[in-house]
């Protein structure tokens, strides 16, 4: 069954004194584009996360955001003591060498804002391994939810696609019935015009020449081949919609071919009734093309 490229999935968990909240969003994209946002302490897991996403999805613009917070009383940051000592030594040296600096006072708050004073708590290899397992589990859980949403929306898209294909099919049936009528209509119109022009001169029409003219018109305006190809495209389109594979690009190409056949029909026939059906077919094809942009 077809899947939409639009979806959302989330997962959360508290373990080892930390809370994790993961959100994955996906939107339309011609290819698979991932944007993975992890806390700095988990940045090394980005390739692993990206690999999991690419194993599950084939198209779409995917935004992956993981939030991590400390749920225990221990501080998530540590003070870099050597860095603080170095800053204080520099300040002390500055006040000695510059007489203009009088009673320089530095608060704890000022020190904490200096670069390198506060640093993220470092985790052991065991903690990193535990975090990796947690993130992998959360990623799979969120992706499952995202895929479920994409499948549900995909089912809605398939119904809309089928409705438009049915509309095209009905117009093709109408065109098939009009094909022979078009040639007969041209013959009658040609006869009427010729009779009106030659009646006063009492001249008869050369039936062989008339037949050649009508035959030539029939060949130029024959749209049966285009109707057959367009009907075949509809059958193939329906088969793709029932496929379990990712067929978004194939459907996009197929609608381009369908539009080409419709344009050929329009160029061959200028009868008002046929033109009406062709316009409706092209409108339905445009709707197909629009919806297909959201199919994986």
pLDDT in tens, 88-101: 677 677 666 665 55
Question: Is the model's pLDDT at 80 over the cut of 80?
Answer: no
Q: pLDDT tens digit string along 223-282? A: 778 889 999 999 999 998 888 778 888 999 999 999 999 998 888 777 788 889 999 999
Q: Starting at the earlier edge strand, list the strands of the sheet with 7-15.
A: 7-15, 18-27, 60-70, 32-37
Question: What is the model's pLDDT at position 119?
Answer: 58
Collapse the DSSP code of 254 into the 3-class scheme (helix H, G, I; strand E, B; otherwise coil) and give the result.
helix
From the list 263, 270, 252, the residue with the least C-alpha distance to 230 is: 263
pLDDT mean over 68-76:
67
Measured CA to CA, the distance from residue 218 to residue 107 in angstroms comes to 95
Question: Is the model's pLDDT at 201 over the cut of 70?
Answer: no
Domains of the chain: residue spans and CATH: 7-74+123-151 (3.30.230), 77-118 (no CATH), 153-292 (no CATH)
Question: Is the model's pLDDT at 187 over the cut of 60?
Answer: no
- DSSP characters over 197-244: HHTTTT----HHHHHHHHHHHHHHH--HHHHHHHHHHHHHHHHHHT-S
Read off the tokens for 239.
Answer: 């088969």
Question: Is the model's pLDDT at 112 over the cut of 80?
Answer: no
Measured CA to CA, the distance from residue 237 to residue 201 in angstroms comes to 58
Contact 150, 296 (CB under 8 A): yes
């Amino acid at each position: 069954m077809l899947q939409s490229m639009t979806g959302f999935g989330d997962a959360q968990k508290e373990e080892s004194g930390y809370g994790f909240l993961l959100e994955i969003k996906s939107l339309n994209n011609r290819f698979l584009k991932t944007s993975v946002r992890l806390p700095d302490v988990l940045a090394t897991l980005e390739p692993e996360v990206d690999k999991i996403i690419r194993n599950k999805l084939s198209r779409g613009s995917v935004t992956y955001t993981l939030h991590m917070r400390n749920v225990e009383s221990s501080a998530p940051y540590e003070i870099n003591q050597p860095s603080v000592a170095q800053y204080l030594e520099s300040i002390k040296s500055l006040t000695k060498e510059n007489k203009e600096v009088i009673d320089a006072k530095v608060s704890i708050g000022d020190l904490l804002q200096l670069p390198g004073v506060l640093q993220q708590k470092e985790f052991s290899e065991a903690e990193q391994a535990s975090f990796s397992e947690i993130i992998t589990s959360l990623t799979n859980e969120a992706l499952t939810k995202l895929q479920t949403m994409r499948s549900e929306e995909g089912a809605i898209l398939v119904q809309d696609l089928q409705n438009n294909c049915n509309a095209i099919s009905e117009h093709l049936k109408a065109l098939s019935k009009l094909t022979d009528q078009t040639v007969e209509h041209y013959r009658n119109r040609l006869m009427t015009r010729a009779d009106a022009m030659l009646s006063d001169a009492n001249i008869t029409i050369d039936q062989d020449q008339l037949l050649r003219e009508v035959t030539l018109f029939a060949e130029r305006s024959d749209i049966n081949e285009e109707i057959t190809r367009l009907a075949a495209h509809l059958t193939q389109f329906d088969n793709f919609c029932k496929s379990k594979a990712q067929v978004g690009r194939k459907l996009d190409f197929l609608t381009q071919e369908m539009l080409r056949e419709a344009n050929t029909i329009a160029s061959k026939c200028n009868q008002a009734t046929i033109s009406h059906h062709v316009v409706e077919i092209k409108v339905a094809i445009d709707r197909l093309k629009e919806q297909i942009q959201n199919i994986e």
